[in-house]
Structure 1
Amino acid sequence: MGQYMKLNKIMFVELFIYLLVICVNFSNCTGNPTSKSTDDGNIEVLSSTDSIPFRNMIGINGFDWEYTNGTAFNQQKFELIKTFTGFRQYLDWDRIEVREGFYRFSYDDIYRKNKQQGIVTLTCLQTIPRWFREKYYSDEYDRKKAYGSLRDYIMVPKGADKRDPASYVDFAKLGFQVAARYGKNANINPTLVKAVTWGDVPDVKIGLGTLEYIECGNEPNKDWSGPNAQQTPEEYAAQLSAFYDGHMGTLGEGVGVKSADPSMKVVMAGIASPDLKWVDRMITWCKENRAKDGSYTLCFDVINYHQYSSVRAGQYWGNNPDLSKNHGVAPELSSVGKAAIDFINLSREKADGIEVWVTECGFDVNERSIKRALPIGNKTTIDTQADWILRTALLYSRVGINRVFFYMLNDVSKNSQVQYNSSGLIEAGRRRPSADFLLQARNLIGDYFYSGTINNDPIVDVYSLEDEKIYVLTVPDQIGREEDYTLKLPGISEVRIHHPQQGSNEMMTESRAIGDDGLQLKVTETPVFVEVVR
């Protein structure tokens, strides 16, 4: 425990620095959401995000097999997934196109049940298939390591121009086939649909209407798999233009998502870090390469990035990282709020205000991971993960992000210290406290909208639904700090106070009468919810 007492002192210094650099100022306004980063690095939220319900902050990342036992849909697994309001599905290209030109779909039930349950599905198509590696990279492809060899390579034939949309036509055809089957447009020439069963019997289904969003790749700016796996913004924009609409219809029939369903939303790949200039360069590429009749169109409908709230310094890789300098950080004390506002403002200024999503964020629970949530006082990493996950959802709701997907449903391995391997919100078929807290917040304020912040420390957010109001109070710290706070509620005589609790679908609730002197509260680093009773 002494190790963590020392760590808390370090955290106090970091807290002071972060609060100087990233100080959050709020005003309780209404109307269209507006935010800005001020010249001194502060964040200012100028109005409510009254078009974004809190439920949009409760998405999760995962895989289709987490719905099934073998090929059979598993209702017990689905009950856990129903905790969340969005599911980002990592889907490898060759799990659909096993052989070139033969598209096999095993996701009809998953997408249909998600839609029926109100879960937004984001299908993230990624990695080049084995047939593609065999065809275009036969001299490099290691068949003894068939799964991993070259799988992260850019989706172009060897030697092709990565800045030419036509180089990505194979992947753009995949986008057309997925959109034709799961989109809303039933008026598609069936001869363009190449779906087959596992016995290669035609399996033509058109316009099922179960998928609204599709993502073109994952982390194209990654720098850890070599130059053949990394794209510049211009190269990725070329890929995205082919995938979006067959580069404005120039690549022929059956190419591009919009060619199958103009209403389906194409989400740009979540970039591995919040690099504003990277997206700005994509927009510039669209201006230069998607212009027609004096105007231009973007080749994406949603801006998308990844960011994990953490600090990194000194020795952070290998078996012996410096754990005092490399760890997760409470979201309010990191740069995630400023980055979110910067992307929202970029969208407003240069991208017609399209939605901004964060499709990966979260914290590990392994105590040697450099992305771990910190044990604080008598709280374990699992306990703190619950606090910080809920506070991350509240922060992104506060600043105006449109959707959030946490990483991820199940651990890769809880016992692994490798970053991201123990980020699961589900463990051994049960919700972790982090999933409990999200479910409870969804049940209480899922349909509510953030409408303002009336105090900075402790943070006091206001959520509204027509005439109903719920206040959410949190100490934005990571040292076990508590603060006494008086919530003034003129004309209100009764409230219900809700506390998140582990192992339950609902928060622990107590009713309390209040007088003219207001409601006296002990606020902690676990959010508390105060519901006004009228």
Structure 2
Amino acid sequence: MKKCHFRKLSFAAAFVTVTLFSNCNKAVITSPENTVDNSLLSDEPFKAYLGVNAFEWNFTSDANHGQIEESRFQTIKSFTGIRHYLDWQRIENKEGSFTYSPSHWGDWDYDQIYQRMKDAGKYVLLDLKGCPDWLLASYPIGKRDAENVPAPYGLDRAVPASYIKQARAAFQLAARYGSNKDVDKGLLLADPTVRWRDDPQNMPKAGLGLITYMECDNERDKWWKGPLAQQSAEEYAANLSAFYDGHKGTLGKGIGVKTADPNMIVVMGGLADPNPEFVRKMVQWCKTNRGMKANGQIDLCFDVINYHQYSNDGFQNYGNPTAGMAPELSDLGKVATLFKEFAKSVNGGIPVWVTETGFDVGEHTSQRALKIGDKSALVTQADWNLRTALLYARTGLTKCIFYMLENVDVNSWTQYTSSGFINPDYSKRPSADYILQTNRLMGDYHFSSTLNKDPLVDVYLLDGKKTYVLTIPDQVGRTKSYDLDLGQSKEAIIYTLAIGKDEMDHKTVSTKNGLLQIQVTETPVFVQPK
């Protein structure tokens, strides 16, 4: 999966008044750090930034695709949700023949997987992607690729009607797994064919209430796959317009997500090239081809802006990365700010998600986490992934989903093939330990403010309670002593991340007149006043 790195950008930095004591390598806040304005709280709790990309086979054993493997599911529950790569083929193996529970292409039970996720309090972003074999049969031999544009060969890709087949599948998924129980039952498609004795029969269902978010394909700007797979912004907007609501209902009954469930959130496919200009062109297409709503807003064909970006040194090397880079040192924050500012200009502001980001641990890939001092690449990966989540919370994006749960090949030289959070036996790597521990400590807290930049000192708030997160934004093993002003608090609890555990280590310490001196490293440390 090839990626592009957006050009380096310049932004004005926000300043915090600090007094530095360089002779003792300390920093002390002199501004009133204990005054938190609730109006500045992020709308999203920190757990919104702790999702992971996954597949159906991550839930089941290799021997029985229809049964959840409980040990695997326990590991998946370390995260707050998943982005599920769902190949279109798996639910529509033959044109017009839909199967879900079980699927007739792989025998997975999607009803069961999604129900278990809901019961566990975890979200699912359902990403319907790829082209089924029966659609690819319209392409000449030699031009058939599952990542082709999801329309029959030869159709005008600038016209929403060309994507009606994919939009019909989106309707069926939204009708079954969305919240609308009043869908016209005559439009529900489920193939009742029984393949062998004791094979469960697929039955039409509506309004199961298991899925809130649906994404239209993946990286439709994929220039590296050639013209049969790459869409322009305008072509993808036409695609999305069919997917969203059957191009405002003009494509007939049973077409589009919103036609089935007006409450379902439609997420545009994550961009491989993180450039808001692509989205700007999509918005302009919507204004021209879908018009304006009665409230004066553009009638968009998506509810969420979505892009992918991996932190590395590519922005310093003309888009050619050689290694991963600590998130605060790369252009991750600048690009996030650019998307955030653009999103504010669209219909009064719409959410921005990052649904792929992360680091490899393979020694040779251009996205590898570095060995730093006595830290292995696995530990650096854990540090940088968690710091990426903290960065996106700090910059005000709405959701972050990491790539991905398991490795493709830890020994590969190809980027993104060793970025998994788990080992082959589904035990957790340090990255998964850190995600689970941080979610348990402060998943419901909301980002409030940043008090200092080096070390970074972020404040999170929940019902008047505070958690401070302190990190050195570097990748050389640097440390710094810091005096944290906790006001009138006489004691505080210091939480430190612990590899191989489900909870952080912690200790209670006394302050000196409300000041807590703490040694900060490149691994985040957490402080809660008592």
TM-score normalised per structure 1? 0.88
Looking at structure 1, the residues matched to 53 and 292 of structure 2 have their Cα atoms a distance apart, in angstroms, of 37
Matched with 2:232 is 232
**Structure 2: runs of 5+ lacking an equivalent:** 1-7, 17-32, 101-108, 196-200
Mapping for residues 143-292 of structure 1, pairs under 5 Å: 149-197=144-192, 199=194, 203-291=203-291
The answer on whether the counterparts of 1:196 and 1:203 sit within 8 Å (CA) in structure 2 is yes
| CA shift digits 1:425-474 (9 cap, x unpaired) | 01121110011011110010001011111111000000111121111000
Task: Rate the CA distance shift 1:172–1:330 in 2: closer, same or farther, 3 A.
Answer: same
Residue 439 (structure 1) aligned to one of 429, 436, 439:
436
Using the TM superposition, give the Cα deviation of residue 315 of structure 1 relative to its aligned residue in structure 2, in angstroms. 11
Distance 1:384 1:253, change over 3 A: same
Matches within 5 A, 1:400-439: 400-428=396-424, 429-439=426-436
SS of 2:171 mapped into structure 1: helix
Question: Identity of paired residues, percent?
Answer: 46
Instruction: Give, in whole Å, the separation in 1 of the partners of 2:292 and 2:373.
Output: 61
2:21 corresponding residue in structure 1: none
Q: Distance in 1 between matches of 2:41 and 2:520?
A: 23
- Kindly indicate whether the alpha-carbon contact (under 8 Å) linking 1:316 and 1:370 is maintained by their aligned counterparts in 2: no
**Alpha-carbon distance between aligned partners in 1 of 2:529 and 2:292, rounded to the nearest angstrom:** 54
Q: Secondary structure at the match of 1:110?
A: helix
Alignment match of 2:112 (pick from 95, 109, 112) = 109
**Quick one: distance in 1 between partners of 2:376 and 2:204?**
51
Partner of 1:360: 356
Separation of aligned partners in 1, 2:447 and 2:293: 41
Does the 8 A contact of 1:303 with 1:357 survive in 2?
Answer: yes
Q: Which residue of 2 aligns with 1:485?
A: 482
**Cα distance in 1 between the residues matched to 2:225 and 2:277:** 22
> Given residue 383 of structure 2, which amino acid in structure 1 is its aligned partner?
D
- 1:321-356 per-residue CA deviation (whole Å, 9 max, x = no partner) reads xxxx61001000111111112111211112431211
Aligned letter for 2:516? Answer: L
Which of 275, 284, 302 is matched with 1:300 structurally?
A: 302
Query: Is 1:26–1:452's contact at 8 Å kept on the other side of the alignment?
Result: no
Contact 2:470 2:525 in 1 (8 A): yes
- Partners of 1:122 and 1:64 lie apart in 2 by 13
How big is each residue's C-alpha offset from its partner over 1:218-242, in whole Å with a ceiling of 9 and x where there is no partner? 0000111111100000000000000
Cα deviation for residue 305 of structure 1 reads 0.4
Deviates more, 1:360-369 or 1:294-303: 294-303
TM-score by length of 2: 0.88
Give the alignment partner of residue 463 of structure 1, picking from 450, 460, 465.
Answer: 460
Q: Select 1:67's aligned residue among 59, 63, 67.
A: 59
Is there any run of 5+ residues in structure 1 with no aligned partner, and where? 1-17, 33-46, 142-148, 318-324
Give the equivalent residue in structure 2 for 1:372. Answer: 368
Which residue identity is paired with 1:421? T
Out of 384, 388, 394, the position equivalent to 1:388 is: 384
Measure the CA separation in 2 of the matches of 1:480 and 1:129: 49
Displacement after TM superposition at 1:191 (Å): 1.5
Q: Which residue of 2 aligns with 1:38?
A: none
Greater share of residues in strand: 1
Contact persistence 2:10–2:334 (CA under 8 A): no
Q: Map Cα deviations across residues 193-248 of structure 1 (whole Å, 9 max, x no partner).
A: 11124528551111101000000000000111111100000000000000000000
**Mapped pair 1:504 → 2:501:** yes
Aligned residue in 2 for 1:514: 511
Partner in structure 2 of residue 530 of structure 1:
527
Measured on the aligned residues, the alpha-carbon RMSD in Å equals 1.9
8 Å Cα contact 2:241-2:301 kept in structure 1: yes
Q: Distance in 1 between matches of 2:498 and 2:11?
A: 30
Counterpart AA for 2:249: G
